[in-house]
Amino acid sequence: MYDVIIVGAGPAGISASLYTIRRNLKTLIIYKEKSALEKSTKIENYYGFENGINGEELYKIGIRQAQNIGAEVIKDEVTNIKIDYLNEKEYTFKVETLNNEFKAKSVILATGNKKNKPNIKNMDKYEGKGISYCAICDGFFYRNKNVAVIGNGDYAIAEAKDLQNIAKSITILTNGRQAPEYRAENININTKEIDQIEGENKVEEIDFVDNTKMKIDGIFIAQGVAGSTEFAKKIGAKINNDKIVVDENMETSIKGLFACGDCTGGLYQVSKAVYDGTKAGLAVLNNYEGKKENGNKIKYRKFWKRSFKIRKTSISRFLCRLVWTM
């Protein structure tokens, strides 16, 4: 069990870890894809680098910095995050990856703002009218219907699996890209390139570049790797305009789940991401220390209650003996 799992190793995630690790919280950082920072050719507007610095170099320095002070860093793809209830009031988080699963008391989402919308005609027109970005959230509406998942990676497979016990049929559409190796009895694979999506008031048909068509009731977008917003949606955290809603401490609408960096909106700057990550890391610390303090208070209450019982018993025995000797 980790005290905190941070999903993402960009400036927001690493900055959060620098505070949690230094206060001896067991911290795990999981990352997969390149950060937007890593793709930057040169950064000249960040404090401390008189000649600027290459984005990839700064990204790698950040990861090494976290490792040097004790962070556990794993390169793996997170496919799902779930709430694992211990009782009616208490819960932990389960973070599932391609190769493993981990549990934590808190989770910080820091994977940036991923733009995974495919360039297909009429995508915007049918969003909310047959096009969804979350199988767990909206799969219920497609019971015993024919659905498609657009994507060709592990994220697409994970979404298709979530629909297996709901939909009548599932087709993974790779949109001209290489087909995944995964195969299942009721999951079909179609590698044709998509031209457009059609329908009167909702999604009804997918038209391919080769002029063939497919009748469909719903489409789930799972292109590339799942980002912070997708994970937040799956758990049930509040989202506004594809940005995760957080309070002044970077905590989402779900206690113990934090988000920082580009996924929360605002300026897309390294300095802003570092600031957000710092606030998130400190907030996790405050939550942890608050629970610890409350736990100590409960222990002290139990101790004094027990002590009072012992004293009460001792006094009763003394009075009984006193009466007996009189």
Cα torsion through 239, 241, 247, 250, rounded to 10: 80
Mean pLDDT of 19-48: 83
pLDDT digits (tens, 9 = 90+) for 234-245: 888 998 887 899
Q: What is the pairing mode between strands 213-215 and 169-173? A: unpaired
**Tell me: domain 124-221, CATH 3.40.50.2300, correct?**
no
CA angle 148, 154, 156 (to 5 degrees): 15
Q: Quick check: 294 pLDDT over 50?
A: yes
Its CATH architecture, for the domain 2-113+226-291, is 3-Layer(bba) Sandwich (3.50)
- The single-letter code of the amino acid at 173 is L
Radius of gyration of the chain measured on its C-alpha atoms: 26
Q: Is there a contact between 231 and 109 (Cβ–Cβ < 8 Å)?
A: yes
Contact (Cβ atoms closer than 8 angstroms) between residue 235 and residue 257: yes
User: In which band, very low, low, confident or very high, does the pLDDT at 33 lie, cut at 50, 70 and 90?
Assistant: low
Q: What is the pLDDT of residues 128-142, one digit of tens each?
A: 899 988 887 788 889
Average pLDDT over every residue of 277-291: 88
Buried b (16+ CB within 10 A) or exposed e, 119-130: ebeebeebeeeb
> Does the pLDDT of residue 312 top 60, yes or no?
no
- Rounded to the nearest integer, the mean pLDDT of the chain is 85
Query: Are the beta carbons of 34 and 297 closer than 8 angstroms?
Result: no
- For residue 184, the model assigns a pLDDT of 74
Distance CA 126, CA 194 (A): 15
pLDDT tens profile 57-108: 999 999 999 999 999 999 998 988 999 998 888 899 999 998 899 999 999 9
Question: Position 295: which residue type?
Answer: G
Q: Which amino acid would we find at residue 286?
A: N
For the chain, residues classed under CATH 3.50.50.60 are 2-113+226-291, 124-221
Q: Taking 80 as the threshold, does the pLDDT of residue 37 lie above it?
A: no
Measure the CA–CA gap between 115 and 113, rounded to whole angstroms: 6
CA pair distance 237, 245, nearest whole angstrom? 8
| Cβ count within 10 A of residue 248 | 7
Give how far Cα 37 sits from Cα of 17, 62, 64, Å: 17, 11, 15
Q: How far apart are CA 57 and CA 55, in angstroms?
A: 5
- For the entire predicted model, the pTM comes to 0.74
10 Å Cβ neighbour count for 132? 23
Q: Which segments of 25-110 are extended strands (E)?
A: 27-31, 72-75, 78-85, 91-97, 101-109
Q: How confident is the model at residue 310 (pLDDT cuts 50, 70, 90)?
A: very low
Closest CA to 234 of 59, 324, 107, 56: 107
Q: Which two tokens stand for residue 198?
A: 């059609």
Q: Is 296 exposed, middle or buried (0-12, 13-18, 19+ CB in 10 A)?
A: exposed
